[in-house]
Structures are given as structure tokens and as C-alpha cells.
Amino acid sequence: MIADICAQVLERITPSKSEKKALYDLTVQIIGKIDRVADEIGVDVHGLLVGSSARNTWTVGEKDIDVFITFPEEISREELESLGLQIAKKVATKYEERYAEHPYIRALYGDHSVDIVPCFRVSDPSSIKSAVDRTPFHNKYLQTRIKGLEDQVRLLKQFMNGIGIYGSELRTKGFSGYLCELLVIKYGSFLGVLESASDWRIGVVIDLEDHGTLKHEDPLVIIDPVDPSRNVAAAVSLDNFCIFIDASREFIKKPSINFFFPPKIAPLTDDEIAKELQARKTDLFAIVFKTPNVVEDILYPQLYKTVKSVEELLHRNDFRVFRSDVWSGAQSVILLEMEVAELPNIKKHIGPPVESSVHSGKFKAKYARSYIKDGRYVAEIPRQYPKVKDLLLSQLQNCGLGKNVSEAIFKGYGVLKNKQIAQIGDREFRIFLRKFFQKR
Amino acid sequence: MIADICAQVLERITPSKSEKKALYDLTVQIIGKIDRVADEIGVDVHGLLVGSSARNTWTVGEKDIDVFITFPEEISREELESLGLQIAKKVATKYEERYAEHPYIRALYGDHSVDIVPCFRVSDPSSIKSAVDRTPFHNKYLQTRIKGLEDQVRLLKQFMNGIGIYGSELRTKGFSGYLCELLVIKYGSFLGVLESASDWRIGVVIDLEDHGTLKHEDPLVIIDPVDPSRNVAAAVSLDNFCIFIDASREFIKKPSINFFFPPKIAPLTDDEIAKELQARKTDLFAIVFKTPNVVEDILYPQLYKTVKSVEELLHRNDFRVFRSDVWSGAQSVILLEMEVAELPNIKKHIGPPVESSVHSGKFKAKYARSYIKDGRYVAEIPRQYPKVKDLLLSQLQNCGLGKNVSEAIFKGYGVLKNKQIAQIGDREFRIFLRKFFQKR
């Protein structure tokens, strides 16, 4: 049963021979060009294929190819950056410049997107100068060890992908490809990883080289085989860690190809929105604003920060949030499902104990009326924001929102309530909305 | 200023010479009769005037006279009870039988209501057989000490009365007359008591004879001068203790006759009820039932217990109570002011941590759908009672209500919401309702 499913999955995700050949040919060509250009300039640099394409662990879905330009350690950072770009631009024809720790080039060769990234060729991972310098060591570590396990890696990646936790970007906070490869090496097979994960507990430590030097506070700790101080799984959030444990148990109990390829989700229609609201009797609010023009690794942490700040704002004002989520397309949406949309016009302000005469005096000077309950003064005061909508319209800009989201919201935002949310027609948002309601 | 006010108050509450004479003549006559009847029967008992009328500390408002029939210690409880009633009934003409620890007689002589109560004449307060046996000792203790302080006692009692905390019955949980007399002896004057009370802290101990033997947990501890183990102020609730402290400070700061004679409160009209609800935007509920035919000392503890149980029921169902109170006339009312009257149709059921595989298995077997949040499973389940009214109509009888209230509610009750509460036309209820809304 499981074997059948895995075979079916592999059939869909394993690149064909011709795809593999095309990728191989392309990378040989790029690396050759890099070496030739370097020769012309007269610098001691080499092209190096890294990542899943270097190890034949890529899946049909993954189109990224990473080619590094390795510079000698002695060169300055400035020289690396300028020479790196110079070489990359000579190698590529269609490209755009991008920025991570260093600037790099994303080049297009037909269907293939290739990142051409300069790095330092250090002698040892402990002396790296930037995060990318570690990558060649990862490549070297895996190259021999992953042999014969490529299909198992592909299965695990696709499983992670299917359950929505593949990728270590700040949007997803999930499992990186390198992490999947290490897990397969550790447990020998896709199923071996799932069987082990079924019993994972928060704080589990996996240390392939038995050389970890630091204590990590993350839910999952996989010590980097090439860097004893680094947790490869640092990006994995508690919930994604748990989702993986849960999915592993469920798959073993009741295997299904749906884990790898979840059924397509249809956009929620206007009628369905109304029906959900009617059935749940919660009050749904959407804060909507134009998405700031920044990459996801910048955008999503700000969106997550925003939803957290807004929840705190609501709690401070005695509103209980039932659930919340964020979505981003051309517009961004902070979605808040509330237990109630309105509270009374008044609220209690609990004062000092009556026995404390100094504090009591101050309290009574401030509040013209009060009564005594449970030994303390209590004043009934007007509630500043009895309505969620008014609170959001008035106070959102005083929340911690992150730089770009804050700027976007300053330019203008709307607060939609219940059926008004159907004003957001975006198909992807409607799919997100169905998922939001399905999560129960 | 204060002297003027006190003089005005005393003018209104001090019995006139003729009233005093009438009371004196009446009690002499009753006691004489008791002694004569006792002689006829041939038992060694005596009539004894106790309470405020014995010490000239009664106020015009207080009409109760307590005459005790003191029996020798050697007599049996049964004999005391039967002989006590026999004598009392011969002394009285219009009377009714009542019950406390012993049966006693409440007799009517014109305007005067006189309680004729049998007790044991024990040699020492430590050997009393029932609570009333202590009373003659209180009388004896006060008789000489209170001389010259009678007006001060009357002022303190009227002050307590005016601020609503006079009386140690279970309805009021306030300050008894005896307690007021002890406080005046301790501090020398009405104002001395208030000045001292301004600085009281929870747990303050006042021990006139410096002979207390036990630690009491009450907010106010006044050791009984005739019983070192007893706290005379045991009945005083925390809030009444605080109300007295607060009123003492306020009166000293800004003296007014209103403390003694608060302005009359008009019944709240239908329009005013609607206006209050509109202004507050809370949801007001009244549980209404026929008042059980029991004395207040039985009824009120049950009403207080009921409101507490109902609040707990509401909290268990996620409803927040803003304020509550009880009222009782021909009907009894549990009044509940709620922040909201309705919650969503769904609620969250927080399950076990995902890492705990045994508990997780059980949870998932029970709940067909769940999701993961903060490392735990969460199931969305239907809320059994999304509406306060349905909850009260369905679950009230499963609350701890006390025997008589429970029986009354079993026979039938209604739940009124917001404007429906105007269906209760009772003038006293409407006065209570105005006080309820004024308390802010």
C-alpha cells in the first residue's frame, strides 16, 4: 500500500532522463562560462553547482538551480561583490540583480531560473564570512552520503510540500531541502523519517556527527554536520513541527496520496461566505491594504507581527479573538474572527483596596462615582471603543506593524466586516478563505 | 458643622421622654408578670430586660424590645422550652410563636413588639448552653460602661443604618447594635469610632478586655468582652467593612446629614429602564420566581448562593457577568447584567499537546476534525448554549440554589431580558433597580 503510493508519487515528481540531461547540460555550460570569464579577468574563481540539482534530489516542482562562484578567502568583500556581479552578468543574458547577504544574479535560461551567487571558498566551515559560504560544505557532505537515497529525499520533500510545511522561508517557517536530506540520511528512508517523527517530542535533538556544542531552544534541533554550533531546523515553527509529527502518524496509520498531492481547493463563493458566517455566528473582520513592494522574507514577518499586535490591541480592549490569519496577494489581508463585534458602552475600572487610604484618596479624587466590591473601589467608566470596527479604524496605526506594512497602512486601509469581506474577489484569497473555514 | 449635624440627627432619633416612659412602664409590667407567673408555677425564673431598650441606646426607628426569662442552669433543655413558652404565653395576649435556637414568643403590646425569650442563667459566659445565654452577660457588661455614651451609640447606629450596613442578619451582613455599643465604649464617641475606622485595615483586631484567645479570619475582629473566643463582628462582610471605612472617611471630610438619612429613592420608571439599557448597552436578565415562605435568615443565604451558582454557570459557558444582585418581595429576582447576551455557535476545545501520542490518539478518535495551534490539537465544537436566556432556561435547576429557592424555582420561574424586566412593576423592586444602576 505505502509502496504503491510512493511509486505513484515518484512517477509524478522524479525528473525524466531528458529533464535531468537538460539540467546537467545547462549547468556544465554555465560553470564552463564562469571558469572562462574568470580566466579572462585573471582571478582564481570557479563555478560550483550546489543545491538539490547538484545531488539529483530535486523534484519536478522545483525549478531553482544554484550555481556558486567561489572566490579565494583572501579577497575583500567589496572585490567579491563587484567581481561576482561582473562575472555573473557576463555568463547570463536575461537576468535580474537580487540581494541577500551579497548581491547576486537570477538568470533565466529558457525554462530554468538559475541563481548565480558569489561566495568565499574558505578552508573550514568555522571560518565562513557569510551564510552562503557554508553551502559548498553542505554540498560536499551530502554528495557521497545521499547516493542511493535520492528517491527517498524526493518523497520526503513532496510530503512536506503536500502538507504545507516545505521551505525554510520566513513565510512558511518549515523544513528546508537540506534538512530533508539530512533526515533521510539519518533514518535511511522516507518512511524511516516518518516513523521516527511519530515519536518526536519538543526539543528532540538529532546530531548526525555527534558534535553539537550549543543548547538550542527550538522545538526541533538538527545539528549541522558541517557546523557544530548551528541548528539546521532553527526555522521550523512549533506548529509546523507538530504538523509534521501529526501527518507522519496519520500517513502511517492510513496512507494516502493526498498527503503528497492534496485535493485542489475551490475558491469560496459569496454565498458560501454568507453561509459560513450564518452557521458560525462569529464576526469576521478583514483589514485590507495594498501589499508593500518587498520580498516575502521581508513582508511575512511584518504581517505576522501585525496580526499579533492587532490581537493584543483587541485583547487590551476586552475583545476575544477566536482565530486569525494573514493573506497576501496584490492586497494584503489581516483576517480576524471575533467572538463578538460589540461590547457594552461601559466598563469596570478596578481601583485600589479600600483599606489603602492614600491610593483610595487618589482614586476617589479621579473618579467622581465608584462603588465597593470585594474590598476594592470599582468605577464604571465609558468604554472608549465598544465596537471592533471603530477600534481598528482608530487605533491600527498605533500598533507595532513593521516598517513596510506600517507605510502601506498609513497610505490607506479598509476594515471589512462579515459579508463585506466578499468585496475581496481575488481567487487566491477565496481559496485561503475556504482553507481558513475548513481548519476546524 | 459635625456637631450641628449630630444634634439634628439626635433630635430625630432620640426617643422622647414620654416614649421612654412608655417603654419603661411596659417592660416593668412584663417583667412583673413573668415573675408573678413564675411564682405561681413555682419555678426559680426571672424576667430580665436586655438589648438597647435596657441600656437606653435604642433609637426611634428601633421598635424591638427583648425580655428574657432566665432559668436556672440545672433545668433541662426540654423543660426550659416548655416552661418558657408557658410563661411567655401567660404574659402576652397578642402573640406569635417563633423559632431560633429555642422557640420564643413575639408579643404585641400596642405599638410595641416584644420578644420574650427563655434562656439559661449560667454562672459564667464560658458555660453557656445556647447563644442567647450570652445576652444577659452583654447586658451586664454594657450597663455601667455605656452610661453617658447613649447618644453616641444612637448616632453610630443611625449612621450604620443610613449607609445600609446596620444589622447582623444574614441578609445584611452588617454591624449589630451590640457591636456599635462596644465600638463607642472603645473609642469614646461616635466621631472617635469614625476616626479610628478611617485607618482600619483588613484583619484589624479590637480587644477591649485584651483577652482574645483565637485567631479569626474575618475582616473585622472585635473580641467579645464576655467571651474571649468570640468575634462579635464575625457577621460583617468584607464589603460592609469597607463601606464603613469609606463612609467614615467621607463623613469626616465632608459631613452631611445624608449619611444618616439618605435621600428617598424614587422607583425607576419603564422609560428610565429603557434609557439605562440604551446608555449602557449591557444585556440585563432577571430570573423571577415566587418567594419561598421562609424567614429572611433562611432566604437570603439561599439567594446569595443562587446568584453565585448562576454566575459560575455563566462563566463556565464563557459569558462574562458585568454585575449582579438579588431582590426579594412577593417575588424574588436574581438580576444579572451581562456584557453580551449571545456568543458564536462554535467554540474551541483545546486538546492535548501533539507530542503526547497517547492523548493525541484519544483526542483524534473523539473529534473527527481538529487543527494544530501552539503545539496542541484544537477542535472546533458546537457551543451548547450560545444564548444566555437558553442557558438559564435549560440549566438553572442544575445549579446549587439552596433547598427553598430550589423548590420555588422547580415550581416555575421566568427569565426576563432587557425591557421585559419592566414587567416587574413592584415599587420596591423599581427602587432596588434604581439603586442598582446608581451604583457606579
Q: In this structure, is the dihedral angle defined by the CA atoms of residues B289, B293, B296 and B297, taken in order, positive or negative?
A: negative
User: What pLDDT score was predicted for residue A111?
Assistant: 84
Sheet holding A283-290, edge to edge: A321-328, A331-338, A283-290, A414-417
CB contact under 8 A, A239 and B340: no
Q: Decide if B282 and A245 are in contact by the 8 Å CB cutoff.
A: no
pLDDT over 90 (residue B64): no
Q: What is the mean pLDDT of residues B344-370?
A: 95
DSSP at B116: E
What pLDDT is attached to residue A422? 97
The average pLDDT across A394-415 equals: 95
Non-local CB neighbours of B154 within 8 Å, separated by 6+ positions = B10, B13, B14, B57, B58, B59
Report the C-alpha gap between B4 and A341 in whole angstroms. 55
**Do A294 and A189 share a domain, yes or no?**
no
pLDDT of A103 > 80? The answer is: yes
pLDDT at B111: 84
pTM for the full predicted model: 0.89
What's phi and psi for A424, nearest 5 deg? Answer: -85, 105
Q: What is the mean pLDDT of residues A287-315?
A: 96
Task: Please give the distance of CA B370 from its chain centroid, rounded to a whole number.
Answer: 50
Give the separation between CA A313 and CA B440, rounded to whole angstroms.
26
Rounded mean pLDDT of A111-122? 92
Nearest CB to B282 within list A344, A373, A375: A344
pLDDT over 90, % of chain B: 92
Q: How many CA atoms lie within 13 A of B224 on its CB side?
A: 22
Closest CA of chain A from B307, distance in Å: 15
| The predicted structure's pLDDT at residue B364 | 94
Cβ contact B136:B119 at 8 Å: yes
What value of ipTM does the predicted structure carry? 0.92
Residue B286 belongs to some domain of the structure: yes
Percent of chain A with pLDDT over 70: 100
Residue B199: strand pairing partners? none
Tell me the shortest Cα–Cα distance from A191 to chain B, in angstroms: 18
pLDDT band for position A270 (cuts 50, 70, 90):
very high
If asked whether residues A391 and A430 sit together in one domain, one would say yes
A211 to chain B, closest Cα gap in Å: 26
What HEC string does chain A produce? CHHHHHHHHHHHHCCCHHHHHHHHHHHHHHHHHHHHHHHHHCCCCEEEEECHHHHCCCCCCCCEEEEEEEEECCCCHHHHHHHHHHHHHHHCCEEEEEECCCEEEEEEECCEEEEEEEEEECCCHHHCCCHHHHHHHHHHHHHHHCCCCHHHHHHHHHHHHHCCCECCCCCCCCECHHHHHHHHHHHCCHHHHHHHHCCCCCCEEECCCCCCCCCCCCCEEEEECCEEEEECCCCCCHHHHHHHHHHHHHHHHCCCHHHCCCCCCCCCCHHHHHHHHHHHCCEEEEEEEECCCCCHHHHHHHHHHHHHHHHHHHHHCCCCEEEEEEEECCEEEEEEEECCCECCCEEEEEEEECCCHHHHHHHHHHCCCCEEECCEEEEEEECCCCEHHHHHHHHHHHCCCCHHHHHHHHHCCEEEEHHHHHHCCCHHHHHHHHHHHHCC
A106 vs A113: CA distance, rounded Å: 7
Shared domain for B364 and B434, answered yes or no, is no
φ, ψ (nearest 5 deg) of residue A342: -140, 145
Predicted local distance difference test score (pLDDT) of residue B126: 87
Q: Does residue B10 lie in a domain region?
A: no
Q: Which amino acid is at A98?
A: R
DSSP annotation of B342 reads: B
Whether pLDDT at A100 is above 90:
no
Among B354, B371, B374, B387, pick the best mutation site for testing chain A contact (most A Cβ within 10 A): B354
**Does the pLDDT value for residue B180 go beyond 90?**
yes
pLDDT tens by residue, B368-423? 999 999 999 999 999 999 999 999 999 999 998 999 999 999 999 999 999 999 99
- CB-CB neighbours of A194 under 10 Å: 25
Q: What is the pLDDT of residue B70?
A: 95
Structure confidence at residue A126 as a pLDDT band (50, 70, 90)? confident
Q: Are A46 and A35 in contact (CB under 8 A)?
A: yes
> A106 and A248 share a domain?
no
Q: Distance (Å, rounded) from C-alpha B53 to C-alpha B143?
A: 11
Mean pLDDT of B281-305: 96
Residue range(s) defining the domain that contains residue B222 = 150-259
Do A321 and A275 fall within a single domain? yes
State residue B99's pLDDT score. Answer: 83
A124 grid coordinates: 573550514
Mutate to test the interface with B, among A163, A346, A373 (most CBs of B within 10 A): A346
Of B242, B340, B373, the CB nearest to A372: B242
Question: Residue B407: helix, strand or coil by DSSP?
Answer: helix
Q: Are residues A24 and A60 in the same domain?
A: yes
pLDDT digits (tens, 9 = 90+) for B249-278: 999 999 999 999 999 999 999 999 999 999
Is B323 among the domain residues?
yes
Mean pLDDT value across residues A351-367: 95
pLDDT number for residue B279:
97
Query: Residue A49 maps to which CATH number?
Result: 3.30.460.10
Instruction: Report pLDDT for A33.
Output: 94
Domain stop point among B75, B96, B130: B130
Q: Where residue A312 falls among pLDDT bands split at 50, 70, 90?
A: very high
C-alpha cell at A138: 553542505
* B 180-199 residues with CB < 8 A to A: 198-199
pLDDT of A143-165, one tens digit each?
999 999 999 999 999 999 999 99
> How distant is the Cα of B94 from the closest Cα of chain A, in angstroms?
43
How close B414 gets to chain A, by Cα (Å)? 24
CA distance B107 to B101: 18
B413 and B296, same structural domain?
Answer: yes
CA angle B133, B137, B140 (to 5 degrees): 145
| SS3 at position B331 | strand
Q: Which amino acid is present at A407? A: E
Residue A345 to residue B373, Cβ atoms within 8 A: no
| Number of neighbours of residue A201 by Cβ within 10 angstroms | 12
φ and ψ of B415, to 5 deg: -120, 115
Beta strands across the sheet bearing B346-353 = B346-353, B376-382, B371-373
* Residue bearing cell 436556672: B72
What mean pLDDT is predicted for residues A83-95? 92
For residue B280, give the H/E element and its range.
Answer: helix B270-280
- Average pLDDT on A121-131 reads 90
Cβ of B202 within 8 Å of Cβ of A375? The answer is: yes
Cβ pair A245:B355 closer than 8 A? yes
pLDDT for the residue numbered A132: 92
- Cβ of residue A94 closer than 8 Å to a chain B Cβ: no
**CA pseudo-torsion sign A396, A398, A402, A407:** positive
Cβ neighbours of A319 in B, within 8 Å: none
Q: Do B357 and A198 touch (CB under 8 A)?
A: yes
CB distance from A380 to chain B under 8 Å? yes
Q: Is residue B178 part of a domain?
A: yes
d(CA A213, CA B354): 28
Q: Is residue B2 part of a domain?
A: no
Q: Domain boundary at A239, A259, A279, which?
A: A259
Q: Report how far residue A81's alpha carbon sits from residue A75's, in angstroms, rounded to the nearest whole number.
A: 10
Our CA-based measurement puts residue A250 at a distance from the nearest CA of chain B, in whole angstroms, of: 10
Out of B201, B345, B372, name the one closest to residue A239 (CB). B372
Subunit contact B344:A281, Cβ cutoff 8 A: yes
Long-range CB pairs of B123-132 (<8 Å, 24+ gap) are: B123/B73, B125/B224, B125/B226, B125/B227, B126/B227, B127/B73, B129/B73, B129/B77, B130/B101, B130/B102, B131/B101, B132/B68, B132/B100, B132/B101, B132/B102
Contact status of A307 with chain B (Cβ, < 8 Å): no
Question: Does A365 reach chain B within 8 Å, measured CB to CB?
Answer: no
In the predicted model, is pLDDT for residue B72 greater than 90? yes
8-state DSSP, B256: -
Which residue bears the cell 490518539?
B361
Give the whole-angstrom CA distance, residue A226 versus residue A283.
Answer: 51
Size of interface A-B (CB pairs under 8 A): 112
- Residue A220: name the closest of A237, A199, A208, A243 by CA: A237
Q: Which residues, in sequence order, are CB contacts of A335 under 8 Å at separation 6+?
A: A284, A285, A286, A324, A325, A326, A327, A433, A436
Could you tell me if residue B24 is inside a domain? yes
Instruction: Categorise residue A98: left if φ over 0, alpha if ψ from -120 to 50, beta otherwise.
Output: beta
CA atoms of A81 and A118, how far apart (whole Å): 7
Mutation site for A-interface testing, chosen from B238, B252, B275, B364 by largest number of A Cβ within 10 Å: B238
Q: Do both B297 and B421 map to the same domain?
A: yes
* Averaged pLDDT, B350-371: 95
| All cell numbers assigned to A357 | 487610604
How far apart, in whole angstroms, are the C-alpha atoms of residue A281 and residue A315? 20
Task: Tell whether B353 is within 8 A of chain A (Cβ).
Answer: yes
Quick one: pLDDT at residue A61?
A: 75
* Structure confidence by residue, pLDDT tens digits, B341-353: 999 999 999 999 9
Q: What is the CATH number of the domain that holds B243?
A: 1.10.1410.30
On whether the CB atoms of residues B426 and B330 are closer than 8 A, the answer is yes
CA distances from A419 to A271, A325, A329, A422, B87 (A): 9, 18, 20, 6, 81
Side chain identity, residue B99: Y
Domain assignment of residue A140, yes or no: no
Q: Which of B185, B309, B195, B169 is nearest to B248 (CA)?
A: B195
Q: Is residue B139 part of a domain?
A: no
Say if strands B204-206 and B220-224 run parallel, antiparallel, or are unpaired. parallel
pLDDT at A364: 94
Q: How far apart are CA B198 and CA B191, in angstroms?
A: 11
Does A253 contact B at CB distance below 8 Å? no
Cα separation of B401 and B398, whole Å? 8
pLDDT value of position A62: 79
Q: Which helix (H) or strand (E) holds B120?
A: strand B112-121
What are B217's three cell numbers?
479570619
Across-strand partners of A414? A288
**pLDDT value, residue B62:** 79
Across the interface, whether the CB atoms of B371 and A439 are under 8 A apart is answered: yes
Cβ contact B239–A281 (<8 Å): no
Partner residue opposite B239 with nearest CB, options A201, A345, A375: A375
Domain boundary among B236, B259, B282: B259
| pLDDT class of A110 with cuts at 50, 70, 90 | confident
Q: How far apart are CA A88 and CA A65, in angstroms?
A: 14
Q: Which of A17-21, A222-226, A276-280 has the lowest mean pLDDT?
A: A17-21
Residue of A nearest to B379 (CA): A440
A428 and A300 fall within a common domain: yes
pLDDT over threshold 80, residue A348: yes
> How many folded domains does chain A comprise?
4
Q: Contacts from A418-426 at CB under 8 Å and sequence distance 24+?
A: A418/A277, A418/A283, A418/A284, A419/A273, A419/A274, A419/A277, A420/A286, A421/A273, A421/A284, A421/A286, A422/A270, A422/A273, A422/A274, A424/A286, A424/A288, A424/A331, A424/A333, A426/A329, A426/A330, A426/A331
Do both B299 and B421 map to the same domain?
Answer: yes
Which residue in B280, B344, B357 is closest to A339 by CB distance?
B344
pLDDT (tens digit per residue) in B205-234: 999 999 999 999 999 999 999 999 999 999
B155 and B292 housed in the same domain: no
Contact call for A280 and B344, based on CB within 8 A: yes
Distance from CA of A295 to the nearest CA of B (A): 26
pLDDT at A440 over 80: no
B45 shares its domain with B191 = no
Q: How does the average pLDDT of chain B come out, rounded?
A: 95
Averaged pLDDT of chain A: 95
A249-258 pLDDT, tens digit each: 999 999 999 9
Flag if A322 and B348 touch (Cβ within 8 Å): yes
